[in-house]
Amino acid sequence: MAALRQFIFSLPLLAAAAADAAVCDYDIGLAGTEPITLDIAVACQAGADGLEASRAAASLLRSLAVDGRPMPLEQASWPIGSALFTARYRLALGGDGAAQSGVAAVGRSVMAELETWLLRPASDDTLVRLRPRLPADFVAALPFKQADGAYVIPASLVPRAGYTAFGRLVETTLALPGPGFSAWNPGTTPARLRIVRLDGTLDLEDARLFRWVERSALAVARYWRGFPVADALLIVVPMTGRSGVVFGRVVPAGGISIMLQLGEHAGAGALDQDWVLVHELTHTASPFMARGFWLMEGLATLIEPIVRARAGWLTPEAVWAEFAQGMPRGLDAMTRTGLQGSGRAGIYWGGALLLLLADVDIRRSSEGRRGLENCLLDVLRQGGDATERWTPEAFMAACDRAIGRPVLAGLAERHRFGGSPVELDALWRRLGVVREGGEVRLVDAPEAWLRDAILWGGTAGPPPALPPRID
Ligand SMILES: [Zn+2]
């Protein structure tokens, strides 16, 4: 996947690829706002081989003409052969069918995954270039890499690409300490986090909302010695009648987009209590692993409370209370079924428990000089952020190399495809974590120092400076 990464992110290579691969240029215009209807002109070089619609796009398509001839809409692909061609289509991101298609229309704005509105080139080898040509008060927010004034994404990534937004958006862009800011890459340029929120009412003022995102991003940057990725788009979707932070999801392919559903009635208290945004931002710091959801979710589950504790938002008691309550939910997967085929509890808490055991092992055997975070930082330093696709084996091998011992490989051997005993109560006793109902008391114990090392690190560099604000 290293070659693909270079292909996507290196501008000179993009230019070189454009000379070889076919290119389709998409000019994105606006045909109407109720519902929001895009009017898209496509010009494809020879080799693009026609256009294809996802199921969602097929249901939202209103008209299509290829080389000026109207096309039947009942089909989902329009083969052209090898010649160059032009096309023009209209697609409504609203009205009947939109909700079922994963399109969220709120007020005079909409959020939609790329494949819901992009008729993609039939040939995977084609490069897609997107150029919004929209009225000044109608904004496009796209997470893809930019080159020569266009957003660029390989056609092969369109089905897995993330969230886009159009319409009346409130937005700001944060400059954050970039990847590796205070460790391996001190000369790093700032990372850019663009935040857009869809239209619609929120009890919360936008300035307060944006400050909360900034604080959360800085807390994540503090753990990872810089914000994990150079560029990301966060789309906030107001949820009518709801309160609190409802749901979040990261989609990294082609450029990182993060969707966050925020209740209309969420107040400052809900933001202070929230874990969802830090969890999602933490995901940006590790590669996508198709057969390693237990690793991906286990990491985010374990690291998120630690990030919040290091930011001063959670007490040590609250973190260990969460672990003491949550980790037993992963025991069935760890001791009986194995993590690989487990359900939700095993994926989140089984994965977190395996990684907690790894952290304990690494810190104990190194007498506190190293911890799981050294492995995680090393994976990130090697380019293993969310835009990458790795195998769990490659991740664990890279991690174990950074530690100098096969810690993860050993744990995976015992708990991935089958179960082995875990002495969880003995672990709490050694760490001095005493459970009393839903609370915990932290007491002196033989390995209480390990408990603190896990929470506070010990190899952390200086915390990143506060970022300048781009208005
Ligand atoms: Zn997650």
Chain segment 331-354, per-residue pLDDT in tens: 999 999 999 999 999 999 999 999
Query: 238: phi > 0 → left, psi -120 to 50 → alpha, else beta; which?
Result: beta
Domain end call among 131, 161, 191: 161
pLDDT in tens, 425-471: 999 999 999 998 878 999 999 999 999 999 998 644 334 444 444 43
Rounded alpha-carbon distances, angstroms, from residue 232 to 61, 166, 251, 385, 422: 29, 17, 10, 12, 38
Task: Give residue 8 CA to ligand 1 midpoint distance, Å.
Answer: 25
Same domain, 100 and 216: no
Residue 188 is given by DSSP the state P
Task: Give residue 304 CA to ligand 1 midpoint distance, Å.
Answer: 10
Q: pLDDT band for position 329 (50/70/90)?
A: very high
Task: Give residue 346 CA to ligand 1 midpoint distance, Å.
Answer: 13
Structure tokens belonging to residue 119: 């008729």
Residue 119 clears pLDDT 80, i.e. is over it: yes
Q: Is 265 exposed, middle or buried (0-12, 13-18, 19+ CB in 10 A)?
A: middle
Strands (E), 198-278: 231-239, 245-251, 256-263
Q: What integer pLDDT is reported at residue 241 of this predicted model?
A: 93
Over pLDDT 70: what percentage of the chain? 91
Task: Give residue 250 CA to ligand 1 midpoint distance, Å.
Answer: 8
Q: What integer pLDDT is reported at residue 2 of this predicted model?
A: 35
pLDDT in tens, 232-265: 999 999 999 999 999 999 999 999 999 999 999 9
Q: How far is residue 306's CA from residue 313's CA, in Å, rounded to a whole number?
A: 10
Task: Give residue 299 CA to ligand 1 midpoint distance, Å.
Answer: 9
Residue 89 is given by DSSP the state E
Packing angle, helices 293-310 and 372-381, rounded to 10? 110
Strand order in the sheet with 469-470: 245-251, 256-263, 231-239, 191-197, 170-176, 469-470
Q: How far is residue 221's CA from residue 364's CA, in Å, rounded to a whole number?
A: 26
Same domain, 305 and 445: yes
Task: Give residue 289 CA to ligand 1 midpoint distance, Å.
Answer: 12
Q: What integer pLDDT is reported at residue 461 of this predicted model?
A: 39
Task: Give residue 347 CA to ligand 1 midpoint distance, Å.
Answer: 10
Task: Give residue 320 CA to ligand 1 midpoint distance, Å.
Answer: 20
Residue 5 clears pLDDT 50, i.e. is over it: no
Q: Is 311 exposed, middle or buried (0-12, 13-18, 19+ CB in 10 A)?
A: middle
Strand order in the sheet with 120-121: 77-79, 50-52, 120-121
Q: What integer pLDDT is reported at residue 13 of this predicted model?
A: 42
Q: How far is residue 112's CA from residue 165's CA, in Å, rounded to a whole number?
A: 6
249 lies in some domain = yes
Q: What integer pLDDT is reported at residue 97 of this predicted model?
A: 66
- What CATH number does the domain containing 52 carry? 2.60.40.3650
Report, in angstroms and rounded to the nearest whole number, the Rg of the chain calculated over CA atoms.
Answer: 24
Q: CB within 8 A of 463, min separation 6: which ones? A: 182, 222
Tokens 């690829």, located at residue: 17
Q: What's the rounded mean pLDDT across residues 170-199?
A: 87
pLDDT in tens, 14-32: 444 445 789 999 999 999 9
Q: What integer pLDDT is reported at residue 470 of this predicted model?
A: 40
Alpha carbons within 13 angstroms on the beta-carbon side of residue 268 total: 4
219 lies in some domain = yes
Q: What integer pLDDT is reported at residue 82 of this predicted model?
A: 78
3-class secondary structure for 375-406?
Answer: HHHHHHHCCCCCCCECCHHHHHHHHHHHHCCC
Task: Give residue 280 CA to ligand 1 midpoint distance, Å.
Answer: 6
Q: pLDDT band for position 180 (50/70/90)?
A: confident
Q: How many CB atoms lie within 10 A of CB 24?
A: 26
Q: What's the rounded mean pLDDT across residues 152-168?
A: 96
Q: Where is pLDDT greater, at 456 or 8?
A: 456
Domain end call among 285, 309, 340: 285
4 lies in some domain = no
**Residue 288, SS3 per DSSP:** strand
15 lies in some domain = no
Domain count, the chain: 3
Domain end call among 115, 140, 161: 161
Same domain, 33 and 97: yes
245 lies in some domain = yes
Domain with 88 in it:
21-161
Strands (E), 296-355: none
Tokens 């079924």, located at residue: 337
Task: Give residue 334 CA to ligand 1 midpoint distance, Å.
Answer: 19
Task: Give residue 89 CA to ligand 1 midpoint distance, Å.
Answer: 36
Task: Give residue 298 CA to ligand 1 midpoint distance, Å.
Answer: 8
Task: Give residue 333 CA to ligand 1 midpoint distance, Å.
Answer: 18
Same domain, 231 and 134: no
Task: Give residue 177 CA to ligand 1 midpoint distance, Å.
Answer: 23
Same domain, 374 and 393: yes
Task: Give residue 275 CA to ligand 1 midpoint distance, Å.
Answer: 11
CA 180 to chain centre: 18
Q: What's the rounded mean pLDDT across residues 270-276?
A: 92
Rounded alpha-carbon distances, angstroms, from residue 13 to 3, 131, 399: 11, 20, 30
Same domain, 133 and 187: no
Q: H helices of 143-198, where? A: none
Same domain, 277 and 319: no
Tokens 């070089």, located at residue: 45
**Residue 272, SS3 per DSSP:** helix
Residue 368 clears pLDDT 60, i.e. is over it: yes
Q: How far is residue 181's CA from residue 201's CA, in Å, rounded to a whole number?
A: 37
Q: How far is residue 30's CA from residue 117's CA, in Å, rounded to a whole number?
A: 13
Residue 100 clears pLDDT 90, i.e. is over it: no
Q: How far is residue 396's CA from residue 291's CA, in Å, rounded to a whole number?
A: 13
Q: pLDDT band for position 94 (50/70/90)?
A: confident
The 10 Å CB-count burial string (b at 16+, else e) for 134-157 is eeeebbbbbbbbebeebbbbbbbb
14 lies in some domain = no
Task: Give residue 274 CA to ligand 1 midpoint distance, Å.
Answer: 14
Q: What integer pLDDT is reported at residue 434 of this predicted model?
A: 97
Task: Give residue 32 CA to ligand 1 midpoint distance, Å.
Answer: 36
383 lies in some domain = yes
Comparing CA positions, the residue from 363, 224, 374 lying closest to residue 300 is: 224
Same domain, 214 and 298: no
CA 259 to chain centre: 8
Same domain, 300 and 269: no
Same domain, 104 and 49: yes
Same domain, 53 and 102: yes
Same domain, 102 and 182: no
Q: What integer pLDDT is reported at residue 19 of this predicted model?
A: 53
Comparing CA positions, the residue from 184, 185, 243, 172 lying closest to residue 214 is: 172
Taken in order 466, 270, 232, 240, is the CA torsion positive or negative?
A: negative
Q: What's the rounded mean pLDDT across residues 211-221?
A: 95
The answer to whether 71 and 65 have CB atoms below 8 angstroms apart is yes
Task: Give residue 297 CA to ligand 1 midpoint distance, Å.
Answer: 5
Q: Between the CA atoms of 195, 200, 203 and 209, what dihedral angle is there, to the nearest 10 degrees?
A: 0
186 lies in some domain = yes
Task: Give residue 281 CA to ligand 1 midpoint distance, Å.
Answer: 9
